[in-house]
Structure 1
Amino acid sequence: MRGTERFSLNQATVRQWSLPDLVAGCAAAGVRHVGLWREPVREYGPAAVARLVRAAGLSVSSLCRGGFLTAPDPAGRAAALADNRAAIEEAAAVGTDTLVLVCGGLPPGSRDLAGARERVADALAALVPHAAGCGVRLAVEPLHPVFAADRCVVSTLGQALALAERFPAEWVGIVVDTYHLWWDDTVAEGLARAGEGGRIAAFQLADWVTPLPEGVLLGRGQLGDGSVDLRWFRERVEAAGYTGPTEAEIFSPALWARDGAQVLAETLERYRAHVL
């Protein structure tokens, strides 16, 4: 496992595994970190998850996801804030200090990207006190522009930083996900800026493969199979001062159809070959 001490397996990469399988499989492979998702955590129980992870000697690198903060109506806004406060508490309960936020898309019939981003900022202002009280950092994740309409109006590292920098760095940071940012020719400057401000809260890996599947969401590639210079990203993120876990987060039905232990072994092999 030399060189993979910071590797984290995000639960989305091996969705076929239950939480006990995930923890046992990572422990058997020498993986020290896992990234978790709220739905299976809720089903298993956050306190039980925390006990399971601790007993195996693992740590939780992040919890996905909060967010969807762009509702313009008071009832929608209140519901989103309540759900995100619950997500903050779940993150604290499972033992991670990082809650990944997917900010949300445009409301039905809207074309106002700037207004939607401003509502995200307002929601962050409302959530930061609760996050700080729970010891959890809100990590704003920019998503590839193909998701701007329905999932995330924050598409670039610069847009994510513009939101995060309104708040103290210890409570609001950003996520660097290679799948979403590889195409942007300003990302090097953005990573340097994020590093100077201590804003990098999480680092996630997946490759971009073509042809893209219908819907795009489940089309992430195994490390090394696509267009992303993964090593370049790792070097720049480290140069920016990030020393935390590096999560492989690959949404892929092809991987989910395989044996989970084989997927993990392959992902570790690809990590060594294309990231380190």
Structure 2
Amino acid sequence: MPRHGPTRERRRQARRGAAAVLALALFAAGCAGEMPGAARRRAAAAIAASGRLAPLALDTGAACRPPLAAWARNGPGETLTVYIEGDGAAYRDRLTPSDDPTPADPLALRLAGLDPGPKVACLARPGQYLPPEALAGLDPALWTTARYAPRALACLDAALDAAKSALGAGRLRLVGYSGGGALAVLLAAGRTDVVALVTVAANLDTEAWTALHRVAPLAASRNPAEAAAPGAAIPQVPDAGSDDRNTPPWLCRRFLARMPETTAARCLVIEGADHRHGLAEAWPGIVTGPPPDAATSRP
């Protein structure tokens, strides 16, 4: 199984840069007396700006109201790399849905900012980065039990179409973090324009994941493991942190076991990383490495 560890200096630089941007944005928001949701929106804006990503308005019509928050960098090329954010603050505790699922540390947005590609976008998830008046009309199931349900997928599907149109792209490379990885798998299996798929610390089998954490099954959601075989023709690399106890590496192996033996896919294990820490530090070395279609080994 391939393993990857960032150089010590690269880890230091990425950690210092990400921590400084996030801390500065949260400090500024706190000094302004803003509520946590507003502070998180300001922090995300600062992280996006540091990665040369500008706010992107998406026309998603009735499939996604209100439209998803998004950021992008639009350079030359036909292939648009789209990062999909994780589940964020889905619950206040094990049983109580959050009033605002905006992540405190938007890792997919940070990874998108570290991507040196010319045409890059990051999509938030339903409910994230919205003001209280917009959140008030949304069903919390969109970020809890139905987070991977057909209606959530339809929203993201429409957002991908809108992003392609807005940025002049013809093909997609999807990169999903955590729950965003689950959605990336499901979306890719149903589209014909996805040329590469990368998942990072992703929930690739919701049945196994809920059993691992002894939580209620995500009954209203689709299981990305069921899309493993239909999407097997897409070049892909699932990345997992060696110390991740939330979505451990064996979920990646379980996912790939559902694919035909001839599928060129591999798990990339990031040494020393867990579900949140060490991923951004390793990302500059991973994202500039061999493209997903060069993966030839299986776990």
TM-score, normalisation: structure 1: 0.42
Question: Going by fraction, where is helix more abundant, 1 or 2?
Answer: 1
TM-score, normalisation: structure 2: 0.40
